[in-house]
């Protein structure tokens, strides 16, 4: 009985210590793992939020870039970090929706291995084509693409990338089978498109809007219900007649499973306030990212989104025969 009492006292003391620790949180620098190289859209988004969250918490939030294997190396590190609130990880449609289907030996399950802080940004996908293509709208492009068959060339930013799987979805919806050409990023692919060697592609509005605005490429349609603020003259897929082609390159923040509830509450409040900060919103808008509405920011919404997206992209990837191995 005495031993039992001592165990209960020990558990009680540990709980009190944990509560006290959570009450003081944060007392030191927080790390945000961005699972991609510096300079890309995910990295810029992470740095904007890191600054905003740091201001809300009164602590520095530093960004650590851990790239490789489509972002799964950094995401695995984020999952395995101590669950104390001092490591946040950034993930997106690729790392937390498509990755389970692309990497059979992935070291995490995005549906159950994280606690969710919330959605932080969305960037719609744009379908674009070389400006010398005979088709000048989406309807004509689909007719042209069906006629061309495998002679049609689709460029993408690497196997399993967002640009790869979103175009795979479009191709399945409209019944075309192009030749797919992988590149090491959107830059090299764009060079070949400008040279007339690639016919079309899919990528973030944030990444392509300058090229569309300059007239270097054609914006055929934005895969969203509403037109993109960065490209108000480009029709949506709903307007252009392919309403089922909808794709958002969403970005979210996560912490390791088991992070104490008081710490989670502080982090979620900090993220919420950061997203309401005009300076943060303006900086996100400048890179073509949309701030999620209030109803889309909570952990419950994010968890439901990830469950849906994992299922959705698994179907697309399987049907397209895509593998990252």
115 and 86 inside one domain? yes
274 band by pLDDT with thresholds 50, 70 and 90: very high
Give which of 284, 244, 259, 247 is closest to 51, Cα–Cα: 284
**19: pLDDT strictly greater than 70:** no
**2: pLDDT strictly greater than 70:** no
In a domain? residue 9: no
How many whole angstroms separate alpha carbon 277 and alpha carbon 257?
Answer: 28
pLDDT mean across residues, the chain: 91
110 and 142 inside one domain? no
In a domain? residue 194: yes
**315: pLDDT strictly greater than 50:** yes
In a domain? residue 210: yes
Domain boundary among 240, 264, 280: 240
226 and 260 inside one domain? no
In a domain? residue 17: no
pLDDT of residue 9: 55
132 and 213 inside one domain? yes
Domain boundary among 240, 259, 275: 240
In a domain? residue 20: no
159 band by pLDDT with thresholds 50, 70 and 90: confident
pLDDT of residue 6: 56
315 and 253 inside one domain? yes
pLDDT of residue 112: 95
Tokens of residue 79, six digits:
């999952």
Give the Cα-Cα-Cα angle 101, 104, 105 (nearest 5 degrees): 140
How many whole angstroms separate alpha carbon 101 and alpha carbon 314?
Answer: 5
How many whole angstroms separate alpha carbon 221 and alpha carbon 207?
Answer: 15
154 and 117 inside one domain? no
Q: What is the CATH number of the domain that holds 267?
A: 3.40.190.150
In a domain? residue 148: yes
pLDDT of residue 3: 55
In a domain? residue 21: no
Tokens of residue 302, six digits:
């994010």
37 and 85 inside one domain? yes
Domain boundary among 216, 240, 264: 240
Domain that holds residue 104: 27-122+249-320
158 band by pLDDT with thresholds 50, 70 and 90: confident
229 and 308 inside one domain? no
**95: pLDDT strictly greater than 90:** yes
The pLDDT tens digits of the residues spanning 22-54 come to 679 999 999 999 998 888 888 999 999 999 999
Tokens 């509403």 belong to residue: 226
In a domain? residue 14: no
Instruction: Summarize the confidence of residues 218-234 as an average pLDDT.
Output: 94
114 and 253 inside one domain? yes
H helices, E strands: number in the chain: 13, 10
Q: What is the CATH number of the domain that holds 163?
A: 3.40.190.10
226 and 83 inside one domain? no
130 band by pLDDT with thresholds 50, 70 and 90: very high
Give whichever of 197-206, 220-229, 265-274 has the largest mean pLDDT: 265-274
83 and 42 inside one domain? yes
pLDDT of residue 14: 46
Do 125 and 222 form a contact (C-beta atoms < 8 A)?
yes
pLDDT of residue 5: 47
Q: For the chain, what is the domain count?
A: 2
pLDDT of residue 17: 47
Burial-class residue 295 by CB neighbours within 10 Å (0-12, 13-18, 19+): exposed
pLDDT of residue 157: 87
Give which of 320, 310, 318, 313 is closest to 172, Cα–Cα: 320
Under DSSP, is residue 260 helix (H, G, I), strand (E, B) or coil? coil
pLDDT of residue 13: 47
Burial-class residue 6 by CB neighbours within 10 Å (0-12, 13-18, 19+): exposed
Burial code of 122-145, b = ≥16 C-beta within 10 A, e = fewer?
A: bbbbbbbbbeebebeebeebbebb
How many whole angstroms separate alpha carbon 231 and alpha carbon 206?
Answer: 10
Give which of 294, 210, 297, 217 is closest to 252, Cα–Cα: 297
């Amino acid at each position: 009985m005495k031993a039992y009492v001592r165990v209960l006292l020990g558990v009680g003391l540990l709980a009190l210590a944990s509560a006290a620790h959570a009450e003081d949180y944060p007392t030191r620098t927080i790390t945000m793992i961005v699972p991609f190289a510096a300079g890309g859209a995910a990295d810029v988004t992470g740095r904007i939020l890191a600054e905003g969250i740091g201001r809300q918490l009164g602590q520095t939030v530093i960004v650590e870039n851990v790239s490789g294997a489509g972002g799964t190396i950094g995401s695995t590190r984020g999952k395995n970090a101590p669950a104390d609130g001092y490591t946040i990880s950034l993930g997106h449609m690729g790392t937390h929706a498509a990755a389970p289907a692309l990497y059979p030996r992935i070291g995490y399950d995005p549906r159950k291995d994280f606690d969710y802080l919330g959605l932080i940004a969305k960037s719609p996908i744009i379908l674009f084509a070389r400006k010398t293509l005979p088709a000048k709208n989406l309807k004509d492009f689909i007719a042209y693409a069906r006629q061309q068959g495998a002679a049609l060339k689709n460029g993408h930013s690497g196997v399993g990338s967002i640009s790869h799987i979103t175009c795979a979805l479009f191709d399945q919806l409209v019944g075309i089978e192009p030749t797919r050409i992988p590149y090491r990023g959107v830059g090299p692919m764009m060079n070949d498109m400008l040279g007339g060697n690639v016919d079309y592609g899919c990528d973030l509005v944030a990444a392509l809007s300058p090229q569309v605005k300059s007239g270097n490429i054609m914006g055929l349609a934005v895969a969203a219900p509403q037109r993109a603020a960065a490209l108000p003259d480009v029709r949506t897929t709903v307007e252009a007649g392919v309403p089922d082609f909808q794709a958002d390159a969403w970005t979210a923040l996560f912490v390791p499973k088991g992070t104490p509830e008081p710490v989670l509450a502080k982090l979620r409040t900090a993220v919420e306030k950061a997203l309401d900060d005009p300076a943060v919103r303006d900086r996100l808008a400048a890179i073509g990212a949309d701030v999620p509405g209030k109803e889309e920011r909570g952990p419950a919404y994010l968890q439901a989104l990830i469950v849906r997206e994992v299922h959705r992209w698994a179907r697309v990837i399987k049907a397209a025969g895509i593998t990252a191995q």
